[in-house]
Amino acid sequence: MTEKTEKTETETEKTAITPATHTAPPAKFSHGVKKGNILQVAGQVGFLPAVEGQAPTVAGPTLREQTLQTFANVKAVLEAGGASWDDVMMTRVYLTDVDHFAEMNEIYNAYFEEQGLTAPASARTTVYVGLPQGLLIEIDALAVLG
């Protein structure tokens, strides 16, 4: 005999997540989307926190500056959705230059060492892509809450 359970509307409702630090996306997508206990963070880049009336500003020209700001932007979406890095199951890193892989790994490892995670590190994929001029890295994350 199987038990049938009904989901409440809040468990199945899809909710857009936009932290106060973020501007509206440049196309029809959300910075994060939460449905039930799943939170998908859209690809984030190294833009500094939004300033009303100003165009997005890149954190700096270096991979380090952009990676750390990108992590801050992903974390802002996670927190706005009720999650933390401990809830992240999968992280995807998009680099524009294969020569940045080793440096990105150093920054990545140091960042997560500082976060004091209590859960195992997430799975990760790194791929090489084209991004708008001046951007060196993009990161997205999939979190499962609870």
Residue 70 banded pLDDT, cuts 50, 70, 90: very high
Query: Do 19 and 83 contact (CB within 8 A), yes or no?
Result: no
d(CA 57, CA 1): 58
Residues contacting residue 6 through CB under 8 Å, at least 6 positions apart: none
- Measured at the alpha carbon of residue 16, what is the angle toward residues 134 and 121, in degrees to the nearest 5? 65
Per residue in 9-45, pLDDT (tens digit) is 556 799 999 999 998 887 889 999 999 999 999 999 9
Whole-number percent of the chain with pLDDT over 90: 76
- Dump pLDDT digits (tens) for 81-109: 999 999 999 999 999 999 999 999 999 99
Neighbouring residues of 95: CB distance < 8 A, sequence distance ≥ 6: 101, 104, 126, 127, 128, 129, 136, 137
Of 96, 71, 91, 87, the residue nearest 120 (C-alpha): 87
Query: In this predicted structure, what is the pLDDT of residue 11?
Result: 62
Rounded to whole angstroms, the Cα distance separating 50 from 89 reads 27
How much is the mean pLDDT over the chain? 91
Residue 2: the pLDDT is 43
Taking 70 as the threshold, does the pLDDT of residue 71 lie above it?
yes
